[in-house]
Amino acid sequence: MEADPAKARVAAREYMKTYVPRLPNYRNNLVELGYTEADFANGCSDRLVDDIVVWGDVATIKTRIQAHYDAGADHVCILPLAATGRLPNMTTVEALAP
């Protein structure tokens, strides 16, 4: 739940670097979904970061979660990252709980 795009993307990129670009299977899946080599440069493009990690206020996050259900998901798993680098962020979990 970070409204500042720069802070949100820094936290997202820090987490994402575990998977993208180090693990080829994640990268290959993303390429199959239409991402290009340019999306993987310099810690990943804003487009890729924003597509993988939702940030913003509670309403924005809930809207993205609902979009998964609307697309046919029967469950959605969230990983509550914090802009400060702490994991898990229980404030986010509590805010998003039904």
pLDDT 10s digits, 24-77: 899 999 999 999 999 998 889 999 999 999 999 989 999 999 999 999 999 988
pTM attached to this predicted model: 0.82
Whether 53 and 15 have beta carbons less than 8 Å apart is answered as yes
Rounded CA-CA distance 40/55 in Å is: 20
- Residue among 33, 73, 24, 72 nearest 52 (CA): 33
